[in-house]
Structure formats: structure tokens, C-alpha cells
Amino acid sequence: MILTMNKLITIESHFLQQQKLYPEVNAEVTDLLNDVAFASKLVRREVVRAGLGDILGLAGTTNVQGEEVKKLDLFANEQIINAIGQHGRFAIMGSEENDSIIIPPKNETGNYALLFDPLDGSSNIDVNVSVGTIFSIYRLKGDDPGKASLDDCLQNGAEQVASGYVIYGSSVVLVYTTGHGVHGFTYDPTIGEFLLSHPNILTPESGKYYSINEGSWAQLNDGTKRYIDYLKEEDPATGRPYSTRYIGSLVADFHRNLLTGGVFVYPATKKHKNGKLRLMYEANPLAFICEQAGGRATDGSRRILDIKPEELHQRTPLYIGSVKDVLTAEEFEKGSR
């Protein structure tokens, strides 16, 4: 797909245009998205030179997920909390790297909650493979920011007012939605701006890629195994066999499949009985994006955005991507194929 940059539209001017088109995308949400874009520039600055700074490698700690935390995880987490917290627009935050919720020190008008995965794909940090940041924004349930609580962070994904991700790859791309389509921006470091490069992203209704960690084959249930075997069969009429593409960074696998078509599956396994990926700051934000782009996102049967969260770091199986591919995967999971 050749992207023609017929005119340079910065993310800030795009947000202003969107506000005129959709008044319900109020100035507050626009400010929040600008905050997130700003914070991602700070993360990008370190990601693109992680090999040089002293932040490469393990921080020697483990997070609430029981995973080794790499220094860039911590750095990205701090950057996002500080950069966004100081603007006082979020009353409360939930991060993959923090066991419990975060109440920013300075909070003037924050009527919103931010859930985020500061650095997704951390197993790839030291080997120069694309990583990302994923974010999800909710309006507080009540009207008093001073009373913001965990309950404001545990809303169904369908209540999100905005979500998105930044992928730090061969180029840095920010993709977001407020429920009015999906739009992508490419960072131009020569001017320090995100420029509109992927307006109104729509994902193909079926693809040619499937993404799953086949190393977990022994842990997969029968339906998942039969689905993967189905994708490998020769049948030109249904575009099979699909090609496998699995990077190990959800944002990178999701972004590729969003643009080209395909399906990403992280199912329940023996090791991760509820799947590995986290509902609040991985599955929900990407599910909102995916549905807005015409795709589908479920846990193998239930719509991701309808799952009622019980806890901040809860996990879910995730089947996400082209609608026809996800529906086929679901048929195998429920045994009707």
C-alpha cells in the first residue's frame, strides 16, 4: 500500500478536525490523546537507542505478572505516569507494571481513567524487534475525580471512550480510535510530529496470516489444534494454506494483521488457563480498534468488549483480527467444525 502524503496533517490538527465532526469527542478526550502521544515520544526516544543507554537488559525485578521486568519496561512506565500525571487530566491509572491503581499527584480536571501496557513485547527489547505501548481510556463512573477508585478502571471494554497503541518499529506509528473509525499516524523525527499516514483503517474480512505460538502446541486444546491444522491445508479456493507470522509482540502481530488481514490467537493453554494476555490493557483496547476497523475480537466465544472485568490484571484468551477468520476459529473452538 503506497501511502501518499498529499498534505501534512499533524495528529493535533487531526484531533481538532475530529472534534468538529464529532462534538461528543470533547476537548478533554482530545487533550488525553495528545498527552498519550506526547508520552509515547518520550518512550520512543529511549526505545530507538535502547542498545546504547544503560537501560538494556533486566531490571532484576519481577512484576505482578511474575515476569522478569526489563529496564525499558520500568522506564516506559515511569515516563507515561509522569508525563501524563503532571497534566492532571487523568484521575486514576492502571498499569501492567503496577500491582495496584495509581492516583496521579496533581489532579485538576481529570474525569478519566487510563489503563496501559507501557511496553508490550518486552521479550523483544534486547533483540531490536518491534515493541509497543497500548492504552485504553474510560470516563469515570462518577463526577468527583477525587473519588476515583479501582471500580472506575474495571469497566467493560464497550465503555471505552478511546483506545490505541504505538508501535516502535522500523517506523513509529500511533493508531487510535474514539469510536469514529481507526486512524494511524507515523512519527517524523525530523519535525517531532505524528503525521496522518493511515486514515480510516479498515481490516480485510479475511486474511492470509495466522499468528499463534505453535511452541505451545502440546498445551493447546483440541479445537485450537484442529483450527491450526485447517489453516495449513491446501485449498486455494479459501486462500489456504495461510502463512504463519508470530513476532512475540502483540502490538506488532496485531498491527500487521490489521493492515493485511489475518488472525491472532492466544488461547487458553495448560500454563495460562485463562490465556496470557490481559483484558484491561491489551485485549480491550485492541478489540475496540479491531471492531472499529471492521474486524472481530472474542475470547473464543464471548465478545471481548462485553467481558465484565473482576480484577485489574485479569487475563483472557484472545482471538482477534479479520471477522471471517475469527468466526472460523470460534467454530472449531465450539466443536461445530
* Footprint on this chain of Mn ion (rule: CB under 5 A): 96, 117, 119-120
Three-class SS of residue 3? Answer: coil
> By CB under 6 A, which span of 25-33, 117-125, 184-192, 296-304 interacts with ligand AHG?
117-125
Does 330 interact with ligand AHG (rule: CB under 6 A)?
no
Structure-block grid coordinates of residue 201: 483503517
Bond into 241 cis (ω within 30): yes
Site for ligand AHG in 91-110 (CB under 6 A): 96
Instruction: Please identify which residue in the block is written with the cell numbers 498445551.
Output: 219
Which member of 77, 111, 122, 160 binds ligand AHG (CB under 6 A)?
122
d(Cα 289, Cα 145) in Å, to the nearest integer? 27
Which member of 142, 179, 241, 248 binds ligand AHG (CB under 6 A)?
248
Does 298 interact with ligand AHG (rule: CB under 6 A)?
no
Out of ligand AHG, Mn ion, none, which partner does residue 46 contact, by CB within 5 to 8 A per kind?
Answer: none
DSSP run (H or E) holding 218: none
CB of 163 to ligand AHG, least distance (A): 16
CB of 120 to Mn ion, least distance (A): 3
Closest CB to Mn ion among residues 117, 253: 117
Instruction: Please identify which residue in the block is written with the cell numbers 489532579.
Output: 107
Q: Write the CA distances from 200 to 32, 179, 282, integer angstroms.
A: 20, 11, 21
Q: What is the dihedral of CA 297, 298, 299, 301, to 10 degrees?
A: -160
Binding mask 252-291 for ligand AHG (x = CB under 6 A): ------------------------x---------------
Closest CB to ligand AHG among residues 110, 317: 317
Which member of 121, 267, 275, 300 binds ligand AHG (CB under 6 A)?
121
Structure-block grid coordinates of residue 83: 508525563
Binding mask 185-224 for ligand AHG (x = CB under 6 A): ----------------------------x-----------
Which member of 18, 107, 155, 249 binds ligand AHG (CB under 6 A)?
249
CB of 190 to Mn ion, least distance (A): 29
Three-class SS of residue 223? Answer: helix
Does 35 interact with ligand AHG (rule: CB under 6 A)?
no
d(Cα 329, Cα 321) in Å, to the nearest integer? 11
User: By the 8 A CB rule, do 212 and 246 touch?
Assistant: yes
d(Cα 129, Cα 125) in Å, to the nearest integer? 7
d(Cα 164, Cα 176) in Å, to the nearest integer? 4
Residue type, 281: Y
Residues that bind ligand AHG (CB under 6 A): 67, 96, 117, 120-123, 213, 248-250, 276
